[in-house]
Structure 1
């Protein structure tokens, strides 16, 4: 708000946007449920929490307390929708999504007074508003004990350590809280003592996201004490906290109480060998686990054999991400053997583990048991021609019939003969939608005769839409083949040829 606007506002000459925000928030308690007049917000991407049910009955008014004149003259539904449209939002009953709205400090100060009047608020999203940082107490200080709020999202708000301490004090008032996302606030690691204390009062919590929050070894120990009160937790994200490494060493029982945990994300946490040893004791106890991300923990390479072998005790596992972990032959062997006991696995990411090159045969036998597999990523694994030939044989026998995404990019040691064998068999992947065979950025090569086999295979793949071929250079005759392909077949396939030739072959509609 400009200085002129502030001056005019104080003289009553104009009504600034923050005043309307105040009226909007106060009036939203009485927002009627009319799904035909609005749509659900599409911006709750940082949580698994389901949007409010638009068909719920309108909240009963609290007749025990009289309406103030300010509430009675709250804005109409049309005015609310007009206001939200300015912010790129849609009115949703009992949900207030103001993420990435460029809220000013003045907006937030006024909202602190107004939020206390919305007793039926279930979801509040203030993510990606940097001015929230340093102003959070003013914004949320009116929340009262017994609040019905179920989801609170404060992603990327530049929260200070003082804001984090305030969150810890606020949590006991939110005993209905199911989703808490504080990700990408690097300064709140210093206030984990307060936050962990507050978490003890949120026994209904199902989702906790602390991605990139500056967590330390001490933070892990503090959270360990809080987890004992969070038996219903289903999703835990501690990823991208590089100072966290070593924090699991003295907490062998950490996570053991989370028997209902379905998602565990520990990627890029600088896990040490001792961390891995502690996790090895816990992993078999998490029988409900469906998604596990251990990616980008390079110290795991030589110490994770026992941990990976115990993955066989996770029969419900659907997604296993273990890329960039510097796996060694022994650890890869343990993983390959354990993967045969994961019948529900749908996503398997082994990219950037060089030891797989020349050893893919250890995994191929187990792939025959993974009938549910949808995504297989083997980017930059040092694959050689023999590996691709063996993979082609498995594809030919129909064991990967459900595969939808296959990433073989950045494997430059495969000769043209290997690509030819692969392309001659890839058409057996009838449900394939994405294939990536791009070369690494430092290399470019002419396409071999296998390119014709690839085009022929694509004509038999009705679902495919994306072919990654960056840094492969088409010969003039192959350019002509591709032109004829676009003329004769479906035009909804995108060949990503990168900077060399993509301009010559734009996606056709």
Structure 2
């Protein structure tokens, strides 16, 4: 009889806890406690009509325990609701996103107490909270209560060495973890092996991000070792770790064991010419790779000429980012041979490579073989006449083009007419950036005529900033036609930082056209000196139009 009573009391306690969690996250109401006690009493009387005094005393004790548990759960439920509400979050049994919430040490302590109430939690994000640093260990000690955890994000939390060690131990209790992000924590550098020890053989981790963690050469070796246990890895980001390039061999050996990898980012990792050749050996083992980012590695220039053919293995590559890689003329010539083989390419960034503009007529002409190309960035490439002409001709064969960035190429100024057919045919174009292109009034007139004839109707972002050479007449022609861009959300016509200029009469046309641009949310007009009457019109627009339009007119 004693065992029966204890069993039923335990069942009531479990049902009570389940009911409270259900009410918190689903709005359901708990069963009345009195009804449960009455039913229990009837069952006991039916089973044994003459309980002795000892049994009655024990039943009373168990009931008091149940009542106490009920009261505790009620209190914890209230605490959780208050905790999340004060941070502007809604209760969710599977996901808690406290990213950039300004958590305090008190908040961290509350989170520690509340985690045991969330056995079904799958996602925890406490990134960009400085006070987590030094306070992570108590949180990690509670992770075993949320063994179903799939996503853990701790980027920019100022983690300490002790935090890193505690994280590694906690990961041993999260067998279902699929994403780990500890980016922007410099104490991870030199201690990465302590974290990675928690990743076991057959790991389910699909996303691993270690951006700007000040990783050392020894950490690179640890990365190579853990990759051997991560056959399910799909996204791997080691960007902005400048010391790993010298130990890339270890990482490449591990990458050869990640056949499901889709995204590989090695931006600004101190790669060299030799590194590119070593990395190329892994491409044949990455049949599903979709994104390859090697940008910001200024020492790789000249390394592609002998290894660029390895790129041909990446038949399904969608994104290739080589901006700021100091590509040599030989590199460009080699890319010319391989680009047509990457027919699935959707994004190509060759920006900030000066040699591209002087020797890229063949390379840019080959872009016509990329029918799915949606993003093309070649800003700051010192495009010359031959290269720009080749680009203009090839761009007519890019029907999917959505983003075109030609900024910081002076030759565009006065020669925008070469892109006339492209601007007419690119019905999908959403973003056009012509920043600091030395545009002149004739270019603005051409752009206005294209707009006036019903083209560029899908344009959402237009950057014409730093084109101080455009006359007032040029701005007037453009301003009168810009209201036809009904989908436009961002427009920037700012001047260079060192220049200041009076607004002409054209500014009145621009202001009058704002009411006809219902989607516009950002207008950059920095360093234009706005006359008092037009400034009043600008303030009047802000007061009387219920729109979240931001005017960026600082600097004058």
Give the structure-2-normalised TM-score.
0.75
Q: Counterpart in 2 of 1:483?
A: 539
Q: Distance in 2 between matches of 1:479 and 1:93?
A: 54
Q: Counterpart in 2 of 1:24?
A: none
Does residue 347 (structure 1) correspond to residue 403 (structure 2)? The answer is yes
Provide structure 1 residue ranges, at least 5 long, that are not aligned to the other structure: 1-33, 45-73, 501-509
The answer to whether the 8 Å contact 1:248/1:254 transfers is: no
Normalized per residue, the structure richer in helix is 2
TM-aligned CA deviation for residue 236 of structure 1: 0.7
Does residue 380 (structure 1) correspond to residue 421 (structure 2)? The answer is no
Q: Distance in 2 between matches of 1:449 and 1:366?
A: 31
Q: 1:291-440 to 2 correspondence within 5 Å?
A: 291-440=347-496
Q: Distance in 2 between matches of 1:35 and 1:150?
A: 27
Q: Distance in 2 between matches of 1:232 and 1:457?
A: 48
The answer to whether the 8 Å contact 1:200/1:230 transfers is: yes
Residues 104 and 204 of structure 1, relative CA distance in 2, 3 Å threshold: same
Residues 482 and 108 of structure 1, relative CA distance in 2, 3 Å threshold: closer
Q: Counterpart in 2 of 1:76?
A: 116
Secondary structure at the aligned position of 1:276 is classed as helix
Q: 1:455-474 to 2 correspondence within 5 Å?
A: 455-474=511-530
Q: Distance in 1 between matches of 2:151 and 2:550?
A: 39
Q: Counterpart in 2 of 1:261?
A: 317
TM-aligned CA deviation for residue 408 of structure 1: 0.5
Q: Distance in 2 between matches of 1:252 and 1:223?
A: 10
Secondary structure at the aligned position of 1:212 is classed as coil
Provide structure 2 residue ranges, at least 5 long, that are not aligned to the other structure: 1-89, 101-113, 140-145
Alpha-carbon displacement from aligned partner over 1:385-437 (angstroms, at most 9, x marks no partner): 00000000001011100000100011111111111110011111010011111
TM-aligned CA deviation for residue 480 of structure 1: 3.0
Alpha-carbon displacement from aligned partner over 1:349-383 (angstroms, at most 9, x marks no partner): 00000000110000122111100001000000010
Q: Distance in 2 between matches of 1:335 and 1:202?
A: 37
Q: 1:5-154 to 2 correspondence within 5 Å?
A: 36-39=92-95, 41=97, 76-77=116-117, 87=132, 93-154=149-210
Report how many aligned residue pairs link the two structures.
439
Q: Counterpart in 2 of 1:443?
A: 499
Residues 107 and 334 of structure 1, relative CA distance in 2, 3 Å threshold: same
Secondary structure at the aligned position of 1:459 is classed as helix
The answer to whether the 8 Å contact 1:41/1:97 transfers is: no
The answer to whether the 8 Å contact 2:97/2:125 transfers is: no
TM-aligned CA deviation for residue 467 of structure 1: 1.1
Hey, which bits of structure 1, 4+ residues long, moved more than 4 A?
A: 40-44, 78-86, 88-92
Q: Distance in 2 between matches of 1:114 and 1:481?
A: 59
The answer to whether the 8 Å contact 1:467/1:493 transfers is: yes
Report which stretch shifted further, 458-467 or 348-357: 458-467
Structure with higher RCO (Cα < 8 A, 6+ apart): 1
Residues 481 and 147 of structure 1, relative CA distance in 2, 3 Å threshold: closer
Q: Distance in 2 between matches of 1:235 and 1:83?
A: 25
Q: Which entry has the higher C-alpha Rg, 1 or 2?
A: 2
The answer to whether the 8 Å contact 1:323/1:351 transfers is: yes
Does residue 492 (structure 1) correspond to residue 548 (structure 2)? The answer is yes
Q: Distance in 1 between matches of 2:157 and 2:525?
A: 38
The answer to whether the 8 Å contact 1:175/1:201 transfers is: yes
Q: Counterpart in 1 of 2:283?
A: 227
Q: Distance in 1 between matches of 2:232 and 2:243?
A: 26
Q: Distance in 2 between matches of 1:326 and 1:83?
A: 43
Residues 327 and 421 of structure 1, relative CA distance in 2, 3 Å threshold: same
Q: Distance in 1 between matches of 2:498 and 2:152?
A: 47
